[in-house]
Structures are given as C-alpha cells and as structure tokens.
Amino acid sequence: GQLHQPGPADLHRGHQQPHKDHQHRPGGLSAHLENIFLMNNKISELQEVAKLATCKKLQRLVLTNNLVTELPNYRLFVIAKIPSLRILDFGKVTASERKQA
C-alpha cells in the first residue's frame, strides 16, 4: 500500500516528500510496500537503492531528482535488484530492460 504523512516517518509508509535539509536513507522498510516515492532526497549511491530489494512486493519506485539517477546503468541496476518493479521513475519497465538487467 501507500500512505502519505510528511516527515521522516514517511519513509516507512512509502511516500517521502522532498526534504532539502535532511537526507533520508532507504532500508529497513516493510516487505509489503508496493509504491515508494523518494523524489528530491539526495540519494546518490546505488547501494542505497539496493536496500529497497527487501520490499518484495514493490511495483512502483520513483527516484527522480536524485543524483543516483544520473549514474551509468542506473535503471538496469535497479530493475535487476528489484525484479517486482513494473514502473521506475514514471516509466514502464520493459521486457527488453528485464532481459538486459
């Protein structure tokens, strides 16, 4: 599911609003989350995104406006780590991408 409540506790509920002064780190999240929105959160390393692999039911992940999205092979890395994803950064995960990942 997906809930919205602004603040640091949001990360555990699946929706995170932008916080310019506070850096949030993915990890330790519920395996039942299906949607996670982490736009504008200063995430810069693929290892941080890899922690989301514990969310076995994750279908939609949005990381736009984070430095990590500019890294080479970012999209394929995320698809490989989180095979349940259907949508990444508002774009459908294609069969071709899954095969490459």
Domains in the chain: ranges and CATH? 10-100 (3.80.10.10)
Alpha carbons 6 and 87: distance in angstroms, whole number: 23
Q: Which regions of the chain are under pLDDT 70?
A: 1-28
- In contact, 40 and 18? CB cutoff 8 Å: yes
Say what the alpha-carbon torsion angle 15, 17, 22, 23 is, to the nearest 10 degrees: 50
Q: How far apart are CA 67 and CA 41, in angstroms?
A: 9
Residue 53: φ, ψ to 5°: -60, -15
User: Closest by alpha carbon to 27, among 6, 7, 47?
Assistant: 47
Q: Is the pTM of this model over 0.75?
A: no
Q: How much is the pLDDT for 28?
A: 60
